[in-house]
Chain A
Amino acid sequence: MSSAVSCARLVIGRDLRLAFRNRTQLLHPLLFFAIVTTLFPLALTPEPSQLRDVAPAVLWVGALLASLLAIEFLFREDAQDGTLEQYALSGRSLTWLLFAKTVSHWLLSGLPLALMSPIVAYGLAVSPAAMPGIAASVALGTIALSLLGAISAALTLGIRRGGALLSLLTLPLAVPLLIFGAQATARAIEGASLVAPMYFLAACAVLGLTLAPLAAAAAVRISLE
Protein backbone atom coordinates (compact mmCIF):
# COMPACT_ATOMS: atom_id res chain seq x y z
CA MET A 1 0.00 0.00 0.00
CA SER A 2 1.36 3.36 -0.98
CA SER A 3 0.22 5.06 2.22
CA ALA A 4 2.29 2.56 4.24
CA VAL A 5 5.31 3.42 2.11
CA SER A 6 4.78 7.16 2.48
CA CYS A 7 4.40 6.63 6.23
CA ALA A 8 7.75 4.88 6.38
CA ARG A 9 9.25 7.64 4.25
CA LEU A 10 8.03 10.23 6.73
CA VAL A 11 9.42 8.36 9.72
CA ILE A 12 12.77 7.91 8.01
CA GLY A 13 12.72 11.48 6.74
CA ARG A 14 12.13 12.84 10.22
CA ASP A 15 14.93 10.76 11.71
CA LEU A 16 17.38 11.71 9.00
CA ARG A 17 16.57 15.41 9.30
CA LEU A 18 16.95 15.27 13.08
CA ALA A 19 20.23 13.41 12.72
CA PHE A 20 21.65 16.01 10.36
CA ARG A 21 20.70 18.79 12.76
CA ASN A 22 22.87 16.96 15.32
CA ARG A 23 25.66 15.82 13.05
CA THR A 24 28.26 15.49 15.77
CA GLN A 25 26.27 12.80 17.53
CA LEU A 26 26.44 10.69 14.40
CA LEU A 27 30.20 10.77 14.59
CA HIS A 28 30.49 9.37 18.11
CA PRO A 29 30.06 5.67 17.26
CA LEU A 30 32.38 6.06 14.28
CA LEU A 31 35.03 7.73 16.41
CA PHE A 32 34.62 5.00 18.98
CA PHE A 33 35.15 2.39 16.27
CA ALA A 34 38.28 4.17 15.06
CA ILE A 35 39.76 4.55 18.52
CA VAL A 36 39.08 1.00 19.69
CA THR A 37 40.65 -0.45 16.58
CA THR A 38 43.64 1.83 17.05
CA LEU A 39 44.19 0.46 20.54
CA PHE A 40 44.80 -3.07 19.30
CA PRO A 41 48.03 -2.48 17.36
CA LEU A 42 49.26 -0.43 20.32
CA ALA A 43 48.46 -3.20 22.78
CA LEU A 44 49.57 -6.01 20.52
CA THR A 45 52.25 -5.36 17.94
CA PRO A 46 52.82 -3.27 14.83
CA GLU A 47 53.87 -6.46 13.02
CA PRO A 48 51.61 -6.59 9.86
CA SER A 49 51.31 -10.37 9.63
CA GLN A 50 50.08 -10.65 13.23
CA LEU A 51 47.71 -7.73 12.82
CA ARG A 52 46.24 -9.39 9.77
CA ASP A 53 45.54 -12.48 11.87
CA VAL A 54 43.56 -10.59 14.48
CA ALA A 55 41.97 -8.13 12.04
CA PRO A 56 38.62 -9.97 11.74
CA ALA A 57 38.24 -10.17 15.51
CA VAL A 58 39.24 -6.55 16.06
CA LEU A 59 36.97 -5.29 13.30
CA TRP A 60 33.95 -7.21 14.42
CA VAL A 61 34.24 -6.69 18.15
CA GLY A 62 34.83 -3.00 17.42
CA ALA A 63 31.84 -2.76 15.08
CA LEU A 64 29.66 -4.66 17.53
CA LEU A 65 30.49 -2.36 20.43
CA ALA A 66 30.21 0.77 18.28
CA SER A 67 26.75 -0.10 17.05
CA LEU A 68 25.74 -1.05 20.58
CA LEU A 69 26.69 2.47 21.56
CA ALA A 70 24.36 3.86 18.90
CA ILE A 71 21.50 1.49 19.67
CA GLU A 72 21.13 2.89 23.16
CA PHE A 73 19.72 6.08 21.62
CA LEU A 74 17.47 4.40 19.07
CA PHE A 75 14.22 5.00 20.96
CA ARG A 76 15.31 7.06 23.94
CA GLU A 77 14.41 10.53 22.71
CA ASP A 78 11.22 9.36 21.06
CA ALA A 79 10.16 7.81 24.34
CA GLN A 80 10.96 10.94 26.33
CA ASP A 81 9.21 13.47 24.10
CA GLY A 82 6.10 11.34 23.57
CA THR A 83 6.72 10.53 19.91
CA LEU A 84 6.54 6.78 20.56
CA GLU A 85 3.19 7.27 22.25
CA GLN A 86 1.94 9.11 19.18
CA TYR A 87 3.25 6.33 16.93
CA ALA A 88 1.44 3.74 19.03
CA LEU A 89 -1.80 5.76 18.79
CA SER A 90 -1.49 6.82 15.15
CA GLY A 91 -3.76 4.10 13.83
CA ARG A 92 -0.83 2.83 11.76
CA SER A 93 0.93 -0.44 12.45
CA LEU A 94 3.47 0.24 15.18
CA THR A 95 5.48 -2.71 13.88
CA TRP A 96 5.81 -0.99 10.52
CA LEU A 97 6.71 2.39 11.99
CA LEU A 98 9.39 0.84 14.19
CA PHE A 99 10.70 -1.06 11.19
CA ALA A 100 11.08 2.28 9.42
CA LYS A 101 12.85 3.68 12.47
CA THR A 102 15.24 0.75 12.46
CA VAL A 103 15.97 1.31 8.77
CA SER A 104 16.88 4.93 9.44
CA HIS A 105 18.99 3.83 12.37
CA TRP A 106 20.91 1.46 10.12
CA LEU A 107 21.38 4.18 7.51
CA LEU A 108 22.83 6.42 10.21
CA SER A 109 24.98 3.92 12.10
CA GLY A 110 25.39 0.57 10.34
CA LEU A 111 26.06 1.93 6.88
CA PRO A 112 28.69 4.46 8.04
CA LEU A 113 30.40 1.71 10.03
CA ALA A 114 30.43 -0.51 6.95
CA LEU A 115 31.87 2.32 4.85
CA MET A 116 34.50 2.98 7.47
CA SER A 117 35.53 -0.63 7.99
CA PRO A 118 37.85 -0.75 4.92
CA ILE A 119 39.81 2.20 6.31
CA VAL A 120 40.14 0.50 9.66
CA ALA A 121 41.04 -2.77 7.96
CA TYR A 122 43.76 -0.99 5.99
CA GLY A 123 45.25 0.10 9.27
CA LEU A 124 45.32 -3.55 10.29
CA ALA A 125 47.49 -4.41 7.28
CA VAL A 126 44.71 -5.98 5.25
CA SER A 127 45.26 -5.92 1.51
CA PRO A 128 42.92 -3.68 -0.52
CA ALA A 129 41.56 -6.67 -2.45
CA ALA A 130 39.69 -7.79 0.67
CA MET A 131 37.94 -4.44 1.22
CA PRO A 132 34.70 -4.95 -0.74
CA GLY A 133 34.08 -8.24 1.04
CA ILE A 134 34.74 -6.70 4.44
CA ALA A 135 32.46 -3.73 3.83
CA ALA A 136 29.71 -5.99 2.51
CA SER A 137 29.91 -8.31 5.51
CA VAL A 138 29.81 -5.43 8.00
CA ALA A 139 26.87 -3.88 6.14
CA LEU A 140 24.93 -7.13 6.21
CA GLY A 141 25.86 -7.92 9.80
CA THR A 142 24.86 -4.49 11.07
CA ILE A 143 21.40 -4.88 9.49
CA ALA A 144 20.75 -7.88 11.69
CA LEU A 145 22.42 -6.12 14.61
CA SER A 146 20.24 -3.01 14.29
CA LEU A 147 17.14 -5.20 14.27
CA LEU A 148 18.31 -7.16 17.29
CA GLY A 149 19.28 -3.95 19.03
CA ALA A 150 15.84 -2.49 18.36
CA ILE A 151 14.35 -5.24 20.52
CA SER A 152 16.77 -4.70 23.40
CA ALA A 153 16.47 -0.93 23.16
CA ALA A 154 12.69 -1.19 23.33
CA LEU A 155 12.89 -3.60 26.26
CA THR A 156 15.16 -1.33 28.28
CA LEU A 157 13.05 1.80 27.74
CA GLY A 158 12.17 3.46 30.98
CA ILE A 159 14.90 1.70 32.94
CA ARG A 160 17.25 4.03 34.71
CA ARG A 161 20.86 3.41 33.73
CA GLY A 162 19.74 0.83 31.19
CA GLY A 163 22.96 1.03 29.17
CA ALA A 164 24.81 -1.84 30.82
CA LEU A 165 21.67 -3.97 30.80
CA LEU A 166 21.27 -3.24 27.10
CA SER A 167 24.70 -4.76 26.45
CA LEU A 168 23.93 -7.73 28.66
CA LEU A 169 20.76 -8.41 26.68
CA THR A 170 22.13 -7.78 23.20
CA LEU A 171 25.61 -9.30 23.17
CA PRO A 172 24.68 -12.95 23.88
CA LEU A 173 22.02 -12.75 21.20
CA ALA A 174 24.59 -11.30 18.80
CA VAL A 175 26.98 -14.24 19.14
CA PRO A 176 25.94 -15.82 15.80
CA LEU A 177 26.44 -12.49 14.00
CA LEU A 178 29.91 -12.16 15.47
CA ILE A 179 30.84 -15.68 14.42
CA PHE A 180 29.54 -15.42 10.86
CA GLY A 181 30.71 -11.85 10.38
CA ALA A 182 34.24 -12.43 11.64
CA GLN A 183 34.43 -15.56 9.54
CA ALA A 184 33.34 -13.67 6.43
CA THR A 185 36.01 -11.06 7.11
CA ALA A 186 38.65 -13.72 7.70
CA ARG A 187 37.79 -15.36 4.39
CA ALA A 188 37.86 -12.03 2.59
CA ILE A 189 41.37 -11.47 3.94
CA GLU A 190 42.47 -14.94 2.85
CA GLY A 191 40.93 -14.38 -0.55
CA ALA A 192 38.61 -17.35 -0.06
CA SER A 193 34.93 -17.53 -0.94
CA LEU A 194 32.59 -15.58 1.35
CA VAL A 195 29.48 -17.37 0.24
CA ALA A 196 28.85 -19.57 3.28
CA PRO A 197 29.17 -16.97 6.07
CA MET A 198 27.45 -14.29 3.99
CA TYR A 199 24.61 -16.67 3.40
CA PHE A 200 24.26 -17.22 7.16
CA LEU A 201 24.44 -13.48 7.84
CA ALA A 202 21.73 -12.90 5.26
CA ALA A 203 19.59 -15.60 6.86
CA CYS A 204 19.96 -13.89 10.25
CA ALA A 205 19.05 -10.55 8.68
CA VAL A 206 15.95 -12.00 7.03
CA LEU A 207 14.85 -13.66 10.26
CA GLY A 208 15.41 -10.35 12.03
CA LEU A 209 13.50 -8.41 9.38
CA THR A 210 10.45 -10.60 9.86
CA LEU A 211 10.44 -10.97 13.62
CA ALA A 212 12.36 -8.13 15.26
CA PRO A 213 9.95 -5.27 14.47
CA LEU A 214 7.10 -7.34 15.92
CA ALA A 215 9.02 -7.96 19.12
CA ALA A 216 10.13 -4.34 19.32
CA ALA A 217 6.54 -3.13 18.88
CA ALA A 218 5.38 -5.45 21.65
CA ALA A 219 8.18 -4.17 23.88
CA VAL A 220 7.38 -0.52 23.13
CA ARG A 221 3.71 -1.07 23.98
CA ILE A 222 4.74 -2.65 27.26
CA SER A 223 6.98 0.29 28.07
CA LEU A 224 4.10 2.70 27.43
CA GLU A 225 1.72 0.79 29.65
Chain B
Amino acid sequence: MDWTWFHRFGSPPHLYGLAGRLTPWFAWPSAFLIAAGLYGGLVLAPADYQQGDGFRVIYVHAPSAWLSLMAYTWMAVAAAIGLVWRMKAAHAAAASCAPLGAWFTVAALCTGMLWGKPMWGTYWVWDPRLTSELVLLFLYLGYMGLRSAIEDPQRADRASAVLAIVGVINVPIVRYSVEWWNSIHQAPSVMKFGKPSISWPMLTPLLIMFVGFTLLFVALLLVRLRGEILRRERHARWVAEVVAG
Protein backbone atom coordinates (compact mmCIF):
# COMPACT_ATOMS: atom_id res chain seq x y z
CA MET B 1 0.00 0.00 0.00
CA ASP B 2 1.16 3.48 -0.79
CA TRP B 3 1.54 5.55 2.36
CA THR B 4 2.87 8.73 0.79
CA TRP B 5 -0.51 10.44 1.13
CA PHE B 6 -0.35 9.79 4.86
CA HIS B 7 3.02 11.43 5.28
CA ARG B 8 2.12 14.28 2.99
CA PHE B 9 -1.06 14.83 4.97
CA GLY B 10 0.93 14.77 8.19
CA SER B 11 3.63 17.11 6.97
CA PRO B 12 3.41 20.27 9.07
CA PRO B 13 3.39 22.88 6.26
CA HIS B 14 0.69 21.01 4.39
CA LEU B 15 -1.46 20.60 7.46
CA TYR B 16 -0.91 24.20 8.49
CA GLY B 17 -2.17 25.47 5.13
CA LEU B 18 -5.02 22.98 4.99
CA ALA B 19 -6.22 23.86 8.49
CA GLY B 20 -6.26 27.54 7.58
CA ARG B 21 -8.31 26.94 4.45
CA LEU B 22 -10.76 24.58 6.15
CA THR B 23 -11.53 26.64 9.25
CA PRO B 24 -14.28 28.85 7.72
CA TRP B 25 -15.93 25.81 6.16
CA PHE B 26 -16.51 24.46 9.64
CA ALA B 27 -17.00 27.72 11.52
CA TRP B 28 -19.86 29.22 9.54
CA PRO B 29 -22.01 26.09 9.19
CA SER B 30 -21.55 25.46 12.89
CA ALA B 31 -22.73 28.98 13.75
CA PHE B 32 -25.77 28.50 11.55
CA LEU B 33 -26.60 25.04 12.92
CA ILE B 34 -26.17 26.07 16.55
CA ALA B 35 -28.45 29.09 16.01
CA ALA B 36 -31.03 26.91 14.29
CA GLY B 37 -30.80 24.17 16.91
CA LEU B 38 -31.13 26.66 19.73
CA TYR B 39 -34.20 28.23 18.18
CA GLY B 40 -35.70 24.80 17.57
CA GLY B 41 -34.87 23.62 21.06
CA LEU B 42 -35.96 26.64 23.06
CA VAL B 43 -38.93 27.80 20.95
CA LEU B 44 -40.27 25.13 18.63
CA ALA B 45 -39.86 21.93 20.63
CA PRO B 46 -42.83 21.12 22.89
CA ALA B 47 -42.37 21.00 26.65
CA ASP B 48 -41.67 17.61 28.21
CA TYR B 49 -44.73 16.13 29.92
CA GLN B 50 -42.77 15.36 33.10
CA GLN B 51 -40.14 18.07 33.33
CA GLY B 52 -41.99 20.88 31.58
CA ASP B 53 -39.62 23.41 30.07
CA GLY B 54 -36.82 22.33 32.41
CA PHE B 55 -35.72 19.62 30.01
CA ARG B 56 -34.61 22.27 27.53
CA VAL B 57 -31.25 22.40 29.28
CA ILE B 58 -30.57 19.21 27.36
CA TYR B 59 -29.98 21.25 24.21
CA VAL B 60 -26.79 22.68 25.65
CA HIS B 61 -25.93 19.97 28.19
CA ALA B 62 -25.95 16.91 25.96
CA PRO B 63 -23.86 18.38 23.12
CA SER B 64 -21.30 19.63 25.65
CA ALA B 65 -21.11 16.21 27.28
CA TRP B 66 -20.75 14.66 23.85
CA LEU B 67 -17.87 16.98 22.98
CA SER B 68 -16.15 16.31 26.29
CA LEU B 69 -15.96 12.61 25.46
CA MET B 70 -15.31 13.06 21.77
CA ALA B 71 -12.41 15.42 22.45
CA TYR B 72 -10.78 12.88 24.75
CA THR B 73 -11.15 10.13 22.17
CA TRP B 74 -9.75 12.28 19.38
CA MET B 75 -6.93 13.36 21.65
CA ALA B 76 -5.99 9.75 22.36
CA VAL B 77 -6.21 8.77 18.69
CA ALA B 78 -4.03 11.71 17.66
CA ALA B 79 -1.62 10.91 20.48
CA ALA B 80 -1.36 7.27 19.39
CA ILE B 81 -0.66 8.32 15.80
CA GLY B 82 1.99 10.74 17.02
CA LEU B 83 3.60 8.10 19.21
CA VAL B 84 3.66 5.33 16.62
CA TRP B 85 4.68 7.32 13.56
CA ARG B 86 6.63 10.04 15.40
CA MET B 87 4.41 12.60 13.73
CA LYS B 88 4.68 16.09 15.19
CA ALA B 89 1.45 17.31 13.65
CA ALA B 90 -0.49 14.56 15.42
CA HIS B 91 0.99 15.61 18.76
CA ALA B 92 0.02 19.17 17.93
CA ALA B 93 -3.56 18.00 17.34
CA ALA B 94 -3.60 16.12 20.65
CA ALA B 95 -2.30 19.18 22.46
CA SER B 96 -5.05 21.28 20.86
CA CYS B 97 -7.82 18.89 21.92
CA ALA B 98 -7.06 19.04 25.65
CA PRO B 99 -8.09 22.59 26.59
CA LEU B 100 -11.18 22.43 24.36
CA GLY B 101 -12.25 19.12 25.84
CA ALA B 102 -11.65 20.38 29.37
CA TRP B 103 -13.78 23.47 28.77
CA PHE B 104 -16.67 21.48 27.36
CA THR B 105 -16.41 19.13 30.32
CA VAL B 106 -16.81 22.18 32.56
CA ALA B 107 -19.82 23.24 30.48
CA ALA B 108 -21.38 19.78 30.74
CA LEU B 109 -20.81 19.71 34.50
CA CYS B 110 -22.24 23.17 35.15
CA THR B 111 -25.28 22.74 32.92
CA GLY B 112 -25.86 19.34 34.49
CA MET B 113 -25.87 20.97 37.90
CA LEU B 114 -28.25 23.70 36.75
CA TRP B 115 -30.53 21.06 35.30
CA GLY B 116 -30.33 19.07 38.49
CA LYS B 117 -31.36 21.92 40.77
CA PRO B 118 -35.10 21.83 39.96
CA MET B 119 -35.06 18.04 39.62
CA TRP B 120 -33.21 17.14 42.81
CA GLY B 121 -33.58 20.34 44.81
CA THR B 122 -29.80 20.69 44.99
CA TYR B 123 -27.05 21.47 42.53
CA TRP B 124 -24.91 18.49 43.25
CA VAL B 125 -26.02 14.91 43.52
CA TRP B 126 -23.69 11.95 42.99
CA ASP B 127 -25.46 11.08 39.80
CA PRO B 128 -23.43 8.62 37.70
CA ARG B 129 -23.27 10.89 34.68
CA LEU B 130 -22.18 13.94 36.65
CA THR B 131 -19.69 11.86 38.61
CA SER B 132 -18.06 10.45 35.51
CA GLU B 133 -17.90 13.92 33.96
CA LEU B 134 -16.10 15.07 37.10
CA VAL B 135 -13.59 12.23 36.83
CA LEU B 136 -13.16 13.10 33.15
CA LEU B 137 -12.35 16.68 34.14
CA PHE B 138 -9.66 15.35 36.51
CA LEU B 139 -8.25 13.26 33.67
CA TYR B 140 -8.03 16.35 31.47
CA LEU B 141 -6.37 18.33 34.25
CA GLY B 142 -3.87 15.55 34.84
CA TYR B 143 -3.06 15.44 31.14
CA MET B 144 -2.52 19.19 30.95
CA GLY B 145 -0.59 19.13 34.21
CA LEU B 146 1.81 16.49 32.91
CA ARG B 147 2.24 18.38 29.66
CA SER B 148 3.15 21.62 31.38
CA ALA B 149 5.41 19.93 33.93
CA ILE B 150 7.80 18.53 31.30
CA GLU B 151 10.05 21.21 29.90
CA ASP B 152 11.28 19.52 26.75
CA PRO B 153 8.39 19.92 24.26
CA GLN B 154 9.03 16.63 22.47
CA ARG B 155 9.17 14.64 25.66
CA ALA B 156 6.03 16.43 26.86
CA ASP B 157 4.27 15.40 23.66
CA ARG B 158 5.28 11.79 23.95
CA ALA B 159 4.74 11.33 27.68
CA SER B 160 1.32 12.95 27.59
CA ALA B 161 0.46 10.75 24.61
CA VAL B 162 1.02 7.65 26.74
CA LEU B 163 -1.22 9.15 29.42
CA ALA B 164 -3.96 9.96 26.90
CA ILE B 165 -3.99 6.38 25.64
CA VAL B 166 -4.10 4.96 29.16
CA GLY B 167 -6.88 7.43 29.98
CA VAL B 168 -9.02 6.56 27.01
CA ILE B 169 -8.91 2.88 27.96
CA ASN B 170 -9.85 3.86 31.48
CA VAL B 171 -12.78 6.16 30.64
CA PRO B 172 -15.28 3.38 29.81
CA ILE B 173 -14.16 1.45 32.91
CA VAL B 174 -14.72 4.52 35.09
CA ARG B 175 -18.10 5.02 33.49
CA TYR B 176 -19.12 1.42 34.03
CA SER B 177 -17.85 1.29 37.59
CA VAL B 178 -19.64 4.50 38.50
CA GLU B 179 -22.93 3.24 37.10
CA TRP B 180 -22.49 -0.02 38.94
CA TRP B 181 -21.76 1.89 42.14
CA ASN B 182 -24.82 4.03 41.60
CA SER B 183 -27.07 1.03 41.00
CA ILE B 184 -26.03 -0.32 44.41
CA HIS B 185 -26.43 2.86 46.40
CA GLN B 186 -29.45 4.30 44.67
CA ALA B 187 -31.82 5.83 47.16
CA PRO B 188 -35.39 5.50 45.89
CA SER B 189 -36.26 9.11 46.81
CA VAL B 190 -33.67 10.59 44.44
CA MET B 191 -35.29 11.37 41.16
CA LYS B 192 -33.16 10.60 38.19
CA PHE B 193 -33.17 12.54 34.97
CA GLY B 194 -36.39 11.27 33.47
CA LYS B 195 -35.57 10.20 29.98
CA PRO B 196 -37.59 12.69 27.93
CA SER B 197 -40.03 10.76 25.84
CA ILE B 198 -38.40 11.07 22.49
CA SER B 199 -40.48 12.75 19.85
CA TRP B 200 -39.24 14.10 16.59
CA PRO B 201 -39.93 17.80 17.31
CA MET B 202 -37.75 17.40 20.43
CA LEU B 203 -35.10 15.23 18.87
CA THR B 204 -34.49 17.18 15.66
CA PRO B 205 -33.11 20.32 17.34
CA LEU B 206 -30.96 18.11 19.56
CA LEU B 207 -29.44 16.35 16.57
CA ILE B 208 -28.84 19.71 14.90
CA MET B 209 -27.08 20.89 18.05
CA PHE B 210 -24.90 17.77 18.09
CA VAL B 211 -23.77 18.41 14.53
CA GLY B 212 -23.32 22.13 15.17
CA PHE B 213 -21.21 21.55 18.29
CA THR B 214 -19.09 18.97 16.51
CA LEU B 215 -18.38 21.38 13.65
CA LEU B 216 -17.62 24.12 16.16
CA PHE B 217 -15.18 21.82 17.88
CA VAL B 218 -13.43 21.03 14.61
CA ALA B 219 -13.17 24.74 13.76
CA LEU B 220 -11.68 25.56 17.17
CA LEU B 221 -9.36 22.58 16.89
CA LEU B 222 -8.07 23.76 13.52
CA VAL B 223 -7.29 27.24 14.81
CA ARG B 224 -5.43 25.86 17.82
CA LEU B 225 -3.73 23.24 15.68
CA ARG B 226 -2.14 25.93 13.51
CA GLY B 227 -0.71 27.61 16.58
CA GLU B 228 0.63 24.34 17.99
CA ILE B 229 2.23 23.47 14.65
CA LEU B 230 3.97 26.85 14.57
CA ARG B 231 5.26 26.29 18.12
CA ARG B 232 6.74 22.92 17.16
CA GLU B 233 8.23 24.07 13.87
CA ARG B 234 9.71 27.41 14.84
CA HIS B 235 13.09 26.59 13.38
CA ALA B 236 11.74 25.31 10.03
CA ARG B 237 12.25 27.28 6.86
CA TRP B 238 8.61 27.19 5.82
CA VAL B 239 7.56 28.90 9.05
CA ALA B 240 9.78 31.85 8.24
CA GLU B 241 8.12 32.16 4.85
CA VAL B 242 4.60 31.84 6.22
CA VAL B 243 5.12 34.26 9.08
CA ALA B 244 6.95 36.87 7.05
CA GLY B 245 4.31 36.84 4.31
A215 touches B138 (CB 8 A): no
Interface status of B119 (Cβ within 8 A of chain A): no
Q: What is the minimal beta-carbon distance from B188 to any residue of chain A, in angstroms?
A: 19
B residues 31-48 touching A (CB-CB < 8 Å): none
Q: What is the minimal beta-carbon distance from B142 to any residue of chain A, in angstroms?
A: 5
A200 touches B155 (CB 8 A): no
User: Known pairs A173-B139, A173-B170, A176-B177. 7 more at Cβ < 8 A?
Assistant: A168-B141, A169-B142, A175-B178, A179-B180, A207-B173, A223-B159, A225-B155
Q: What is the minimal beta-carbon distance from B53 to any residue of chain A, in angstroms?
A: 35
Interface status of B239 (Cβ within 8 A of chain A): no
B135 touches A165 (CB 8 A): no
Choose one: B163, B170, B177; the contact of A155 (CB below 8 Å).
B163
Write out the residue numbers on chain B whose beta carbons fall within 8 Å of the beta carbon of A172.
135, 138-139, 142, 174
Q: Which of A151, A158, A176 has the most CB of B within 10 A?
A: A176
B residues 135-160 touching A (CB-CB < 8 Å): 135, 138-139, 141-142, 145-146, 149-150, 154-155, 158-159
Chain B residues in the interface with A (C-beta under 8 A): 83, 135, 138-139, 141-142, 145-146, 149-150, 154-155, 158-159, 162-163, 165-167, 169-170, 173-174, 176-178, 180-181, 184
Interface status of A35 (Cβ within 8 A of chain B): no
A165 touches B162 (CB 8 A): no
Q: What string of 1s and 0s marks CB contacts (under 8 Å) between A168-196 and chain B?
A: 11011101100110010000000000000
Classify the interface of chain A: helix, strand, loop or mixed.
Answer: helix
Which residue of chain A has the shortest Cβ distance to B169 in the bound complex?
A: A211
Write out the residue numbers on chain A whose beta carbons fall within 8 Å of the beta carbon of B141.
168
Choose one: A155, A159, A168, A204; the contact of B138 (CB below 8 Å).
A168
Listed by A's residue number, 27 A-B pairs whose Cβ atoms lie within 8 Å are A151-B162, A155-B162, A155-B163, A156-B146, A159-B150, A165-B146, A168-B138, A168-B142, A169-B145, A169-B146, A169-B163, A171-B138, A172-B174, A175-B135, A175-B178, A176-B173, A176-B176, A176-B177, A179-B178, A183-B184, A211-B166, A215-B162, A215-B165, A215-B166, A223-B155, A225-B154, A225-B155
Chain A residues in the interface with B (C-beta under 8 A): 151, 155-156, 158-159, 162, 165, 168-169, 171-173, 175-176, 179-180, 183, 200, 204, 207, 211, 215, 218-219, 222-223, 225
Choose one: A151, A158, A176, A204; the contact of B166 (CB below 8 Å).
A151
Classify the interface of chain B: helix, strand, loop or mixed.
Answer: helix
Q: How many Å lie between the Cα of A117 and that of B159 in the bound state?
A: 35
Q: How many Å lie between the Cα of A211 and that of B173 in the bound state?
A: 14
Q: How many Å lie between the Cα of A155 and that of B174 in the bound state?
A: 21
Q: How many Å lie between the Cα of A172 and that of B105 in the bound state?
A: 15
